[in-house]
């Protein structure tokens, strides 16, 4: 039985690959995509979701735009990684996939209320939409099967030395989600940094010889350059794609139960996820936390998804 999923994302190069995985694999039924301000403004992340779905031929999946700024304070963007458009590196025509008439929270309300089974939420950007939805519709919490999010880390951050970008962008929203009592799985940098898109992965995508494969290699070329420049990484991680990959293959990522707290007030640590891996605080675990990944199996899923969605290059 396919898993009913809503992606909540801020495309973003890695969010784009997560959309492809969710659209391609029969284990997932993609009910919709909600977008949020994060890597870029919500206007840009929404346009990027439409662009990716257009190139991939993903039709009939609603795309609903969400919150433009975090619950408190001003937003941040990741222009240094994802560029001015939020999806720099590939050339896109005018998207043919429309934006839904509803905002993200309304779309979440309608879909969770009306879908015949509980839905899995897969947030891969700041958690602003999810937190806003949980505040507005507590009566629909039971319609959420689980939340599988990309964010945080059991170790260092990437927006600050302590905080990963999605958590740093809206710490209060992350705190609301982690305190919600809902089944949360957190896949953080400590896992995603183990699975960089190395040249052999790029070569496999290039060998597909299709427009979608070309979009993927163009995006990887751009984000590979920014990851080299900013972090000195030889190859870029595709953080977000690990979330749907985990849904497709539950054995792909090793999880442990732990208490995760979000730091809200630290002068130097605001947005940090404090993961009590050893249970030293006595706080009851509130999340499954990723600690390892089967890297070859992950990339097989990604390449297979692009192949599945690829239409042959025009002769
Ligand atoms: O820190 C990585 C995360 O922040 C990813 O989701 C990336 O797309 C950005 O949103
Ligand atoms: Ca993201």
Q: For the domain that residue 97 is a member of, what is the CATH number?
A: 3.90.245.10
Considering the domain boundaries, does residue 46 fall inside one?
Answer: yes
Q: Indicate the burial class of 142 (C-beta count within 10 angstroms; 0-12, 13-18, 19 or more).
A: exposed
Whole-number Å distance between alpha carbons of 142 and 255: 23
The residues, any chain, with a CB within 8 Å of residue 215's CB and separated by 6 or more, are: 52, 55, 90
Mean predicted confidence (pLDDT) in 4-19 = 98
Q: Is 313 a residue whose pLDDT tops 70?
A: no
Q: Tell me, what's the pLDDT at 312?
A: 60
The model's pTM is 0.98
Distance 123 CA to ligand 1 centre (A): 10
**CA–CA gap between residue 179 and residue 67 (Å, rounded):** 20
Span 24-54, pLDDT tens digits: 999 999 999 999 999 999 999 999 999 999 9
Using most ligand atoms within 8 A of CB, pick from 39, 88, 271 the residue to mutate for ligand 1: 39
Domain range enclosing 53:
3-310
* Tens-place pLDDT, residues 71-88: 999 999 999 999 999 999
| 165 touches ligand 1 (CB under 6 Å) | yes
Treating both helix axes as pointing N-terminal to C-terminal, what angle do 128-136 and 104-114 enclose, rounded to 10 degrees?
60
190 pocket-lining for ligand 1 (C-beta < 6 Å): no
- Domain annotation covers residue 315: no
- Please choose, from the candidates 242, 239, 202, the residue with its C-alpha nearest in 3D space to the C-alpha of residue 222: 202
Task: Examine residue 170 and state whether it is found in any structural domain, yes or no.
Answer: yes
Is 11 within a domain? yes
Q: Domain count for the chain, please give it.
A: 1
| 210 belongs to a structural domain | yes
* Rounded CA separation 234/28 (Å): 32
Q: How confident is the model at residue 201 (pLDDT cuts 50, 70, 90)?
A: very high
Give the residue whose CA is nearest to atom 2 of ligand 1: 165
Is the model's pLDDT at 59 over the cut of 80?
A: yes
Predicted confidence at residue 140, as pLDDT, reads 98
Residue 28 lies in a domain: yes
Per-residue model confidence as pLDDT tens digits over 112-137: 999 999 999 999 999 999 999 999 99
Query: What are 262's two structure tokens?
Result: 């979000």
* Closest ligand to the CA of 35: 2
Among 7, 8, 11, 12, residue to substitute to test ligand 1 (most atoms within 8 Å of Cβ): 12
- High-pLDDT (> 70) share of the chain, %: 98
Our answer on whether the CB atom of 14 is closer than 6 Å to any ligand 1 atom is yes
Q: How far is the CA of 109 from the centre of ligand 1 (A)?
A: 25
| Catalytic annotation, residues | 239
* Rounded distance from Cα 240 to ligand 2 centre (Å): 6
Query: If pLDDT is split at 50, 70 and 90, which confidence band does 315 have?
Result: low
Q: What is the mean pLDDT of residues 161-175?
A: 98
Structural domain includes residue 38: yes
Question: What letters, b where the CB count within 10 A reaches 16 and e where it falls short, cover 107-141?
Answer: bbbebbeeeeeebbbbbbbbbbbbbbbbeebeebe
Is residue 10 one of the residues assigned to a domain? yes
DSSP secondary structure, the chain, as one string: -PEEEEEEE---HHHHHHHHHHHH-TTEEEEEEEE-SSSS-HHHHHHHHHHHHHHHT--S--EEE--SS-SSS-----HHHH-SSSSTTS------SPPPSS-HHHHHHHHHHHSSS-EEEEE-S-THHHHHHHHH-GGGGGGEEEEEEE---SS--SSSSS--HHHHH-HHHHHHHHTS-S-EEEE-HHHHTTSB--HHHHHHHHTT-SHHHHHHHHHHHHHHHHHHHHH--SS-B-TTHHHHHHHH-TTSEEEEEEEEEE-SS-TTTTT-EEEETT-TT-PPP-EEEEEEE-HHHHHHHHHHHHHHHPPPPP-
What is the signed CA dihedral for 184, 154, 67, 219, rounded to 10 degrees? -110
Residues, Cβ < 5 Å to ion ligand 2 = 10, 12, 15, 124-125, 240
- Residue 164 CB–ligand 1 contact under 6 Å: yes
Instruction: Specify the pLDDT at position 170.
Output: 98
């Amino acid at each position: 039985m396919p898993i009913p999923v809503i992606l909540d994302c801020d495309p973003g190069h890695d969010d784009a690959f997560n959309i492809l995985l969710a659209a391609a694999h029969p284990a997932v039924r993609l009910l919709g995509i909600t977008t949020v301000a994060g890597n870029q403004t919500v206007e840009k992340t929404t346009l990027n979701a439409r662009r990716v779905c257009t190139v991939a031929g993903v039709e009939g999946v609603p795309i609903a735009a969400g919150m433009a700024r975090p619950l408190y304070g001003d937003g941040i963007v990741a222009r240094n990684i994802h560029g001015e458009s939020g999806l720099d590196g590939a050339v896109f025509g005018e998207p043919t996939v429309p934006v839904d008439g509803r905002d993200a929270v309304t779309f979440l309300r309608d879909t969770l209320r009306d879908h015949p089974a509980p839905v899995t939420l897969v947030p891969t950007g700041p958690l602003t939409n999810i937190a806003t939805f949980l505040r507005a519709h507590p009566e629909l919490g039971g319609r959420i099967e689980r939340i599988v999010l990309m964010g945080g880390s059991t170790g260092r951050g990437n927006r600050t030395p302590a905080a990963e970008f999605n958590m740093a962008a809206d710490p209060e929203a992350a705190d609301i989600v982690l305190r919600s009592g809902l089944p949360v799985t957190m896949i953080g940098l400590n896992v995603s940094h183990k699975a960089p898109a190395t040249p052999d992965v790029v070569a496999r995508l290039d060998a597909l010889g299709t427009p979608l494969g070309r979009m993927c290699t163009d995006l990887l070329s751009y984000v590979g350059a920014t990851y080299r420049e900013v972090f000195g990484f030889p190859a870029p991680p595709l953080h977000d794609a690990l979330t749907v990959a985990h849904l497709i293959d539950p054995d792909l990522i090793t999880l442990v139960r732990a208490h995760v707290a979000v730091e809200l007030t630290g002068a130097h640590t605001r947005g940090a996820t404090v993961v009590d891996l050893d249970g030293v605080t006595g706080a009851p675990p509130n999340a499954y936390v990723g600690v390892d990944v089967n890297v070859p199996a992950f990339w097989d899923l990604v390449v297979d998804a692009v192949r599945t969605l690829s239409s042959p290059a025009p002769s």
